[in-house]
Structure 1
Amino acid sequence: MAGEFNGFGEKAIPFLKALDFHQSREWFQENRDLYERELYQPFGDLVETLTKRFATARLGLRGDRKKSLFRINRDVRFSKDKRPYNRHLSAILSPDGTKMEQGVFYVHIGLERCFADIAWWQPGPELLLAMRNAIATRPDKFRALVAALKKNRLELETEGRMKRTPRGFEHVSDSDLAKVIRNRHFYVQHVVDPAGIHTAALVDELVDFTLRARPLLDWGRGIEGRAG
């Protein structure tokens, strides 16, 4: 049943820890009710509550409990690691409500950590080139983005950054621009205290983060519009 998010169950993280220990379909089926009550149903409530709040704030991000959540089952077809279950549960809210878009809100509740991203993650070659060109040809606008994020206590993450400058951008000599042109992803992240996932206040925390990340949303969407 759909409802307002009131927090994940107190046993949400302990469930993930136990599931990771057992990594057994039999154990999971025996404890499915616990999974549904403590983790899955609250996650659906979180997605749909955020969708309402994002709509009010005109952030252009939405989802629902059927389409937005990733499966807790791992895809092991091409992996040496054959453990059947993830150590986390996650979801995406996007401009069209699917997982196929860029410029998304991603939320992750897991054993190692809990966090949220606003992200262009592995954008396709055409869009990635357009983003790099925007940095190189409109440096003032990009630096304004960086300054706006810094003012909002955020910065672009560097995970996956290339070691060498991509072909065609060797002429970019400013170090701040040359570094970020090597990015494969453009995203900001907010770390969530696991102790804070059990109350409705998590919604306010995630909405605040997304509002602070709006400059990145605006910058990326502007580039997507020109590249499309």
Structure 2
Amino acid sequence: MQLKKSTFTYLKELHQNNNREWFAATKEEYVNAQKNAKELFSAIHLNLQKHDDIEKSKMMRIYRDVRFSKDKTPYKAHFANSYSRLGKELRGGYFLRIRPGESFLAGGFWEPNKEDLYRIRQEIALDASEIKEILAAKEFQKYFGGKFESFSELKTAPRGFDKEHPEVSLLRKKGFIASRSFTDAEVLSSSFIEEVDKSFRALRPFFNLFSDILTTNLNGESIL
């Protein structure tokens, strides 16, 4: 199972002709491309289930919500899917986007609620050694560059935390995401599904640690 070149071609053409008239005229091509992407996402889901407990797999709709956007193009020129882990004990989620020239996967905590973010920051302030071990791990370095990304960061330490803390760069983050980009050749290769699964496997120590942090208090006692 792999992504077809025709699916990539369709997405490229959609990017160049992002309007309702063209979309309607090429509906059959869209249906075929969507079917291929669904099959790819399903195969990845099956692999994930072999080493993690997945509650839900969701393919994102191609239609854009343009109500509050300056960009009024009606369609997303990509296919994307999210995979949610099962239950309160298993935190974190997986994500994959297929877009010519801009394909990537990611996993982690994009916009944690204020309670979760505060608890993570508490752990960092108390002892960030386990988190730093995750970042320094061989597989995490290989697939994710040994770093967490964030949709935004504070300019200084959050209120109530030491501005001179040695891990202030972690404390400033508003999210904790690991991501890996793929070239078009990598996405279209027969080994792409395997590479995605290897990357997702490499996220597990990160997910396991943060799951433990978010389900216990500072004394290590369960809060569930």
Same fold (TM over 0.5): yes
Percent identity, aligned pairs only, is 23
**Aligned partners of 2:55, 2:43: CA distance in 1, in Å?**
10
* 1:3-37 Cα deviation digits (max 9, x unpaired): xxx21221223222221222211211221221222
After TM superposition, list the pairs within 5 Å mapping 1:24-173 onto structure 2: 24-38=19-33, 40-57=34-51, 59-61=52-54, 63-64=56-57, 68-96=58-86, 103-148=92-137, 152-153=141-142, 154=144, 155-159=146-150, 160-170=152-162, 173=165
**Aligned partners of 2:82, 2:140: CA distance in 1, in Å?**
26
**Aligned partners of 2:83, 2:170: CA distance in 1, in Å?**
25
Give TM-score scaled by structure 1 length.
0.84
Match of 1:10 in 2: 5
CA contact 2:134–2:140 (8 Å) conserved in 1: no
**1:150 positional shift:** 6.4
How many residues align structurally? 213
CA contact 1:119–1:186 (8 Å) conserved in 2: yes
Give TM-score scaled by structure 2 length.
0.85
Match of 1:22 in 2: 17
* 1:89-144 Cα deviation digits (max 9, x unpaired): 211011149xxx96111001113411101121011111111111111112222222
Q: Structure 1: any 5+ residue segments left out of the alignment?
A: 1-5
Q: Which amino acid aligns with 1:166?
A: P
Q: 156-165 vs 108-117, which deviates more?
A: 156-165
* 1:72-104 Cα deviation digits (max 9, x unpaired): 11111111211111132211011149xxx9611
Considering only aligned residues, what root-mean-square deviation do their CA atoms show, in Å? 2.2
CA contact 2:149–2:178 (8 Å) conserved in 1: no
Q: Structure 2: any 5+ residue segments left out of the alignment?
A: 217-222
Superposition misfits of 4+ residues, deviation over 4 angstroms = 149-152
* 1:131-172 Cα deviation digits (max 9, x unpaired): 111111122222222222666423223342222211111255
